[in-house]
Structure 1
């Protein structure tokens, strides 16, 4: 493996392998675009699945809320009724 030194021979700043310098180069824009285009269907699919899950979640039930206090229980029934007697 070949190595290149940066700076003057008297100072040892850093030593970089020749293969690492090639690998460290940024990827071309075309490769990034290709990967993004491959990811678009996956992103759309995840959005659709998230929308379906959000739509199928149960809706909260509305409730009435009131303050409570201790006291005697009073129940009044104001209804008309019919008395039935069994004959034996």
Structure 2
């Protein structure tokens, strides 16, 4: 299944964040800011050109169980991950 990251809102409460267009030095700050802006029950659909394992570890450490992480797509060059705000 392919995902179009150019769509700003997929469905009610799901917001796309395409990291590929953000300068690398600003990415983590922008991602953490976006996650912090979400409310309970909302999802950030994250798109990236590689699997961001260090970032996922940082998110788990910072947000703990309040963010659920699940892969939507793991195609080479098009990684899509949903971050659901639980608490």
Q: TM bucket by the smaller chain?
A: under 0.3
Structure of larger gyration radius: 1
- TM score, norm. by length of structure 2: 0.20
- TM score, norm. by length of structure 1: 0.19
Structure holding more strand per residue: 2
Higher relative contact order (CA 8 A, sep 6+): 2
